[in-house]
Copies of this chain bind each other. A is one copy, B any other.
Amino acid sequence: MIAPHGGTLVSRTVDSPESERALRDESKGLRSLTLTGRELNDLALIANGALSPLEGFMSRKDYESVVETMRLANGLPWSIPVVLGVTREEAPTPGTRAALYDGEGVLRGVIEVEEIYDYDKAREARNVYLTEDEKHPGVAALYERKDVLVGGPVRVFAREHDPENLSPSECRAEFERRGWKTIVGFQTRNPVHRAHEYIQKCALETVDGLLLHPLVGETKSDDIPAEVRMRCYRALLENYYPSNRVLLSTLQAAMRYAGPREAIFHAIMRKNHGCTHFIVGRDHAGVGSYYGTYDAQKMFDNFTPEELGIIPLKFENSFYCLRCEGMGSQKTCSHDPTHHVTLSGTQVREMLRAGQLPPQEFSRPEVAQILIEASRETATSA
């Protein structure tokens, strides 16, 4: 089994009823902080070890180092800040603890406040997102973040077990149980069309198993809702994948849309879940036209294979070719694009809204049907 990032799988989940009771009692006397959806996503990932070796929200030293060098202060590759924002007024005193609440007032955990520090949003935007444009959804979220950051380790209350949202240790145990030694992880925030299926299956041919690992934390409002996507994934797996070679489980991470930097972050989280390989497609974690099509793939060249540990599998845009009578990409198909079955995102959305199935060379009908139904539900509720 591949070692977690940094060597040890972190757990910051409170693991006994006694500790939980004690922490709940203590928290009553603590300053309260209310986390945003994104911060709650990060909190859950720190708790279950998906962000190993992080044990809490980043200290200034790690934050600065990540923003400037794409490494933690100890030199380990790390590409995305994981931070907790507060206003100056609500900032707790270093050396104390603070209670962490979600937006509905539910106590989720406690942070040991090591540090309160200022940061430069514009610099973070430039370095992490490569743009200061507020139309970029990641930059917009960054600009909405509160003005000072709280660094320190957290302890988090356990969540209910969800067989479709496995923690890194649960994923690893499942891989062990299935006897998989090499596992390729697939990040997605969209329904899987035949192009993605092709890429996944290409990768799967040379490893033992596929972790289909959709991201279900905060995404842009126009992304397809996680619940609809899950229905699509289940329909696809049921009809086109051998169940003994695929594991479907969600990742409660927020999308940053940070392209190249986020691709590294996505790979590290999958490494912590036990994946040995990770699929990096075209414009991975991109949005609009902020990043070059293959910039995310090139980003992996900034690190040695040893320090990343997980192996990126880089794929180009793929399509069904009528001359090949099969799926392929520019790398494997020599035919003119007129033979290729391709549709833009806009075209697909229009067809689905009109209740039309896209060509079966583009989408599996079982998946398209679910998307048609979902677009009707949206239309009705709108």
Using a CB–CB cutoff of 8 Å, the interface residues on chain A facing chain B are 198-199, 201-206, 239-243, 245, 313-316, 318, 324-334, 360-361
Candidates B202, B239, B324; contact of A205 at CB < 8 Å? B202
Asked whether, in the complex, the Cβ of B241 is within 8 Å of the Cβ of A204, the reply is: no
B332 & A245 in contact (Cβ 8 Å cutoff): yes
Query: Is A205 a contact partner of B316 (Cβ separation < 8 A)?
Result: yes
Contact of A240 among B205, B331, B334 (CB under 8 A): B334
Query: Shortest CB–CB separation between residue A17 and chain B, in angstroms?
Result: 42
* Number of identical monomers bound together in the oligomeric complex: 2
Write out the residue numbers on chain B whose beta carbons fall within 8 Å of the beta carbon of A324: 240
Chain B residues in 8 Å Cβ range of A241:
332, 334
Name 22 A/B residue pairs within 8 A (Cβ), A-sorted: A198-B326, A199-B205, A201-B332, A202-B202, A202-B206, A205-B316, A205-B318, A205-B331, A206-B313, A206-B314, A206-B315, A240-B324, A240-B333, A240-B334, A241-B334, A242-B330, A242-B334, A243-B334, A245-B332, A325-B360, A326-B326, A326-B327
A204–B331 alpha-carbon span in the complex (Å): 7
Chain B, residue nearest A241 (CB): B334
Q: Are A331 and B242 in contact (CB under 8 A)?
A: yes
User: How many angstroms between the C-alpha atoms of A334 and B201 in the bound complex?
Assistant: 12
Q: Which residues of chain B come closer than 8 Å to A205, judged between CB atoms? A: 199, 202, 315-316, 318, 329, 331-332
